[in-house]
Amino acid sequence: MCGITGIFDTRDARQVDRAVLQRMNDSQLHRGPDEGSVHIEAGLGFGHRRLSIIDIATGQQPLFNEDGSVVIVYNGEIYNYQELIPELQAAGHRFRTKSDTEVIVHAWEQWGEDCVKRFRGMFAFALWDRNRQTLFMARDRLGVKPLYYALLDDGTLLFGSELKSLLTYQGVGGGLRRDIDPLAVEEYFALG
């Protein structure tokens, strides 16, 4: 079990506060006690807590493609990642690690959003493609790996493996409102 978290400015590419992102990431320490790292660039901050299972030596995250234009934070396991490597190598992608995380990065470069159709496993990830100016987030079809997110009034998008990482956020415009939505409660009881 790993933990991911992030902040994305959907409007102005405001600088992400490293201390705020670090607090969000640290709130999930129990999900990944082996390592923790953050990446910040204009309007974007990714955090990752790592529990080392696959590629213990070189599977650190956030992980980048060869030219640094694509970055990912990921929690889960792609069961068929070894089957995808030869196909991606034949298409010209070079691998630096033996991790399933890097397969996701190259699959994104090769197939775009359709990459998730190729994955068999349990996963939640957020990927930033600087060249396409695209933030792409996905999780497995059954939702085995959690991915909570919220869009704040000021255009800030928060995400994390646990709700408490979102509640830790305190930005310029405040944090995540903790009001209960009566309609959501009604829908929960009516629809489960």
Annotated active-site positions, please? 2
CA 140 vs CA 19, 76, 120, 130, 188: distances in Å: 30, 9, 8, 24, 22
Using the Cα atoms of residue 69, residue 28, residue 1 and residue 191 in order, give the sign of their dihedral. Answer: negative
Nearest to 25 by CA among 14, 15, 38: 38
For 89, residues 6+ apart whose C-beta sits below 8 A from its C-beta are: 95
Query: Can you tell me the distance from the alpha carbon of 25 to that of 28, in angstroms, rounded to the nearest whole number?
Result: 6
DSSP string, 117-167: HH--EEEEEEEEETTTTEEEEEE-TT--S--EEEE-TTSEEEEESSHHHHH
Radius of gyration of the chain (CA): 17
